[in-house]
């Protein structure tokens, strides 16, 4: 079978058209994908380099999610500390209010002092400090003995109450008057009867484990108010602990107790990271103990409920230390937050650099490719015309044959 014979000019024009078609296909592919390098066949070096850059960019993008969660966890902890600080300040206000609540016990015995009380032991407590004295034949001598015992007890109790002549005799010279800027409670009814006060069997709970009674002839103020303030204080401690437990984000709580540290990774190998240490901002972790109706010391007869000013001052000192601890924790969290936010911004910028570098290696210049497409389209039209001219000689012979 004989082959078709084409002239040299026709073959040359045909080859040119085929080359133009191939170039147009390449240009159209670049326009549709936006890339000059779509596979390793196009440019192995650029393709694999760009692939490596894209892979690292993708990894950093995944790590950014963890960084973002870390930032939110730190902010949740910081918000918790800020709110706890307000509760601590409120607890300080309550303690100061207790300190300014004056204790007082006053009243006049309903009955005249009787010499029959001579030799009786009078036992009572002043702000939880036990005091005892012996009754004498005369009311004046008994009052003097009582005041002397009070002064001695005041000195030995390190100022838990003010010394002074809290016992006196009324204008009739027969009845004992009690006027103390402190809480005075008798240990038994017999002590009240011996001084002429109406006996009372009502047991008070001011001193916890110690049973005390208060005569109906006496009016005591401040004790109940201080106990109420102590209860409010304890409620605030519960709120502090609950708030610390609630300051979590996505299961991470940095202030509910130690040992719950958070590690934030900044690169795929984990060699670049930040460990955010957790703190214990609960009431117990801040060293804030509830005010009870008893004292831990067995020799203190169960003092409590903000009864002693010295105890209230100790509580205030503890609250001051708690506030300082919260400020320190907030400062540390703030420093960590700044670091993490800085690394977040750095990672975002680095991702942009990596993606730009990858694009520079593989992306096509769409303006140039569009111009190439127009030029190739023109060239193709001209090639078709040239091919037609190359075949014109054969068309002339065809005309002769006709």
- Which domains, ranges and CATH numbers included, belong to the chain? 58-100+226-322 (1.20.1330.10), 104-221 (no CATH)
H-run or E-run covering 194: helix 189-195
Per-residue pLDDT of 131-176, as tens digits, reads: 999 999 899 999 999 999 998 888 776 666 777 899 999 999 999 9
Whether residue 197 has pLDDT greater than 60: yes
Per-residue pLDDT of 110-134, as tens digits, reads: 999 998 888 899 998 888 788 999 9
Task: Report the DSSP beta bridge partners of residue 134.
Answer: 121
Say if CB 267 and CB 61 are below 8 A apart.
Answer: no
Orientation angle between helical segments 366-390 and 8-33, nearest 10 degrees: 160
Computed over every residue of the chain, the mean pLDDT equals 83
Say if CB 152 and CB 141 are below 8 A apart.
Answer: no
H-run or E-run covering 55: helix 44-100
pLDDT value of position 383: 67
pLDDT value of position 302: 45
* Of 295 and 288, the one with more pLDDT: 288
Mean pLDDT on 333-352: 92
Looking at mean pLDDT, say which of 7-11, 151-155, 379-383 comes out highest: 151-155
Per-residue pLDDT of 210-227, as tens digits, reads: 667 778 898 888 888 888
């Amino acid at each position: 079978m004989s082959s078709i014979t084409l002239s040299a000019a026709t073959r040359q024009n045909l080859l040119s058209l085929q080359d133009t078609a191939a170039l147009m296909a390449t240009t159209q592919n670049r326009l549709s994908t936006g890339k000059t390098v779509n596979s390793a066949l196009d440019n192995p070096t650029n393709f694999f380099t760009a692939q490596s850059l894209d892979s690292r960019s993708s990894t950093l993008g995944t790590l950014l999610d963890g960084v973002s969660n870390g930032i939110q966890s730190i902010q949740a902890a910081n918000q918790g500390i800020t709110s706890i600080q307000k509760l601590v300040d409120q607890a300080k206000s309550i303690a100061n209010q207790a300190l300014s609540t004056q204790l007082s016990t006053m009243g006049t015995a309903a009955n005249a002092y009787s010499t029959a009380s001579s030799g009786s032991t009078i036992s009572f407590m002043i702000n939880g400090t036990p005091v005892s004295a012996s009754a004498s034949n005369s009311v004046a001598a008994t009052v003097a003995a009582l005041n002397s015992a009070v002064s001695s007890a005041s000195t030995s109790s390190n100022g838990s109450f003010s010394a002074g002549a809290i016992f006196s005799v009324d204008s009739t010279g027969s009845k004992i008057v009690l006027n103390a800027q402190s809480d005075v409670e008798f240990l038994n009814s017999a002590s009240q009867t011996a001084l002429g006060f109406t006996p009372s069997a009502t047991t008070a709970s001011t001193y916890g484990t110690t049973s005390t009674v208060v005569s109906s002839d006496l009016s005591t103020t401040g004790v109940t108010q201080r106990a109420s303030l102590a209860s409010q204080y304890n409620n605030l401690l519960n709120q502090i602990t609950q708030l610390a437990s609630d300051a979590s984000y996505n299961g991470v709580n940095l202030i509910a107790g130690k040992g719950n540290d958070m590690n934030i990774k900044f690169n795929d190998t984990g060699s670049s990271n930040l460990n955010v240490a957790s703190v214990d901002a609960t009431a117990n972790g801040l060293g804030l103990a509830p005010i009870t109706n008893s004292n831990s010391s067995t020799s203190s007869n169960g003092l409590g409920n903000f009864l002693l000013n010295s105890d209230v001052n100790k509580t205030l000192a503890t609250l001051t230390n708690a506030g300082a601890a919260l400020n320190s924790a907030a400062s540390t969290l703030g420093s960590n937050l700044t670091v993490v936010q800085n690394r977040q911004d750095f990672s975002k910028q680095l991702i942009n650099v990596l993606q730009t570098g990858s694009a520079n290696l593989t992306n096509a210049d769409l303006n140039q490719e569009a111009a190439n497409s127009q030029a190739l389209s023109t060239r193709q039209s001209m090639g078709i015309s040239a091919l037609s001219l190359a075949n014109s000689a054969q068309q002339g012979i065809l005309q002769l044959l006709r």
